[in-house]
Amino acid sequence: MWTGTAFALAAGLMWGLVFVAPLMLPQYPPALLAVGRYLAFGLICLPLAALDWRELHALRAADWWAAVRLSAIGNFVYYLCLAAAIQRAGTPLVSVIIGTLPVVIALVSNRLNASRDGHWPWGRLAPSLAVIALGIACVNQSEFAALEAGQAGAYLQGAAIALVALAAWTWYPIRNADWLRAHPDRSPRAWATAQGLVSLPMAVLGLLALVALQALQPPGMSTLPSDFPLPLGPEPLAFAGLMLVVGLLASWAGTLCWNEASQRLPTTLVG
d(CA 77, CA 103): 21
Contact 255, 75 (CB under 8 A): no
Q: Is the pLDDT of residue 186 over 70?
A: yes
Of 101, 229, 245, 71, give the one whose Cα is nearest residue 165: 101
- Domain spans of the chain, in order of start: 2-270
Residue 22 binned pLDDT confidence (cut-offs 50, 70, 90): confident
pLDDT digits (tens, 9 = 90+) for 26-69: 888 878 888 998 999 999 999 999 989 999 999 999 999 999 99
What end-to-end distance do the CA atoms of the chain give, in Å?
Answer: 14
pLDDT of residue 149: 60
195, burial (CB in 10 Å: exposed 0-12, middle 13-18, buried 19+)? buried
Query: What number is the average pLDDT over the span 3-15?
Result: 91
Contact 238, 25 (CB under 8 A): yes
Of 256, 9, 264, give the one whose Cα is nearest residue 117: 264
Angle at which helix 2-15 crosses helix 254-264, to 10 degrees, equals 150
Residue 118 phi, psi dihedral angles, 5° rounding: 85, 150
Length of the chain: 271
pLDDT of residue 269: 82
